[in-house]
Amino acid sequence: MPGRRVNLDYDLEANNSGGVTAMSEKSLEYGKSEAVDTYEGPVITSSDEDVKAPSVIVSTSPPALDGGTRAWLQVAGSFLVFGNLWGLTFAFGSFNSYYELTLLPDKSSSTISWIGTTSTTLLIFGGIVSGPLFDRGYFRSMLIIGALVETLGLMLLSLCKASYWQIFLTQGIVTGLGNSLLYIPGLALVGRAFTKNRSMAMGITTCGAPIGGIIYTITFEHLISRMSFGWTVRIMAFIMLATYCIAFPMILWRVKNLADLAPDRPRKLFDASALRDLPFWSYTSSNFLIFCGYMVPFYFMASYGQIELGMSRSDANYVLVISQAASVLGRLVASYAASKIGVMIPWIVCGLSSGILCLGWIGVKSSGVFIVYAALYGCFSGALIPLPPSVFPVVCPDIKVLGARMGMSQGIGSMASLIGPPIAGALTSIGATAEHRNYLGLQLFGGAIMAAGGCNLVGLWILLIRQRGLKSKLI
């Protein structure tokens, strides 16, 4: 039927670590927008007489399944995808200590950390740029190409000798580019398969990140003491490839082509009006400060245990595993608390606690205390990943620009992930000796900047209550 196109607003919400997830119905209530079911049918048009508003949210298809074989297979498959792309990120602490103490002893901690932060930044920032590809329905190509590129990066890394630039290009650039194509489909397809149980499904999916970190950390530690670095990484690449071969059939089984959901043009990546919005800047600056320090302990825990506490490489890496395991618990507990009392309270508590714990790292002088510290930091910091996206619809109640503003916020946040650990690593070289590093500067930097971000969240909370006209303080 000829007429004017009705705008079919389908919502994708990017999480703070840099992906895209479907917005929950509860979140939309804060922005005073009506939640809708996923639209999977053809484009609907209407005559001018039938349209009473410039943009009408339409849903004519049956609701997305909350459960069922297809939906939960997508959760399981995306869990495995997350375990690969974020698992390697969380396991970089093992690589970092090996490079620093064995493979690249002539390179500083700061220089080595650029390898991991570059990969993470490409994952986040590249994911934003590749979002329009998903909007156009190219999710199958994104998954397959991303998996091949990431696996290729590890295979090329296994061929590297003691060359910093070879390692940087393979582990930092190639794997990061592959990850950037994988992240959005892994989350967004799950989000489209659920409505009422979407939060639970997304929570299970994101728990793949620390689980993957545990698996890859243990694998690296178990193999590196028994065989060469090349074969250690090569076996990890085979594990990754096998995991994707299991995950993709589960994700793609009976998935419809999403190209019919695409708007007239890919969603825009920039919204100039956000530059004049104070809550947007408060949210973005809080995340920037927190994520400047977030990965610092995960990158340097293992080397700290070996250099300062005299732990073996194996024991130091298992402390990192303990921290990652505690992260799973932290994510689940914080998500449950957020469903009861709102997101802002647990987010503020976890942000401030993570900063305080990072400062408390200064007093860790024994292996036993170090293990307790690692578990506590993993538990509180783990909540900083799933919580921020849940409050963004309050920060940006206009669904039409939500995706663009979230992308802008993530782009700025990705810079924090890029520069935070290298700055902390550079501080360890100030006054360092052959036997000891200046971890005090690293600990002060990480703790102070995360605590500042936590304090800034209090200001964000007040702003949202005042400027968004919310009846409840439990945001």
pLDDT in tens, 387-435: 888 788 888 887 777 777 888 888 898 899 999 999 999 999 888 776 7
| pLDDT for the residue 376 | 97
What DSSP string runs through 375-411? Answer: HHHHHHHHTTTTSHHHHHHHH---HHHHHHHHHHHHH
Q: Is 209 exposed, middle or buried (0-12, 13-18, 19+ CB in 10 A)?
A: buried
Residues of the chain with pLDDT under 70: 1-67, 127, 195-199, 256-268, 434, 469-473
In terms of Cα–Cα distance, which of 255, 273, 254 is closest to 398?
273
Residue identified by tokens 């690969």 is 84
DSSP character for 255? P
Domain layout of the chain by residue ranges: 25-30+32-467
Contact 116, 169 (CB under 8 A): no
| pLDDT for the residue 195 | 67
Cα distance between residue 113 and residue 299, in whole Å: 8
Residue identified by tokens 């990480």 is 446
| pLDDT for the residue 69 | 77
Cα distance between residue 121 and residue 182, in whole Å: 14
Contact 90, 395 (CB under 8 A): no
In terms of Cα–Cα distance, which of 340, 416, 304, 327 is closest to 377?
327
| pLDDT for the residue 61 | 40
3 backbone φψ class: left, alpha, beta (φ>0; ψ -120 to 50):
left
- Note the pLDDT tens digit of each residue in 331-382: 888 888 888 888 899 999 999 999 999 999 999 999 999 999 999 999 999 8
- Tally the residues of the chain: 475
Q: Which residues of 79-100 are buried (b: 16+ CB within 10 A; e: fewer)?
A: bbbbbbbbbbbbbbbbbbbbbb
- Note the pLDDT tens digit of each residue in 133-171: 777 778 888 899 999 999 999 999 999 988 999 999 999
Q: The pTM is what?
A: 0.78
| pLDDT for the residue 256 | 66
CATH fold of 25-30+32-467: Growth Hormone; Chain: A; (1.20.1250)
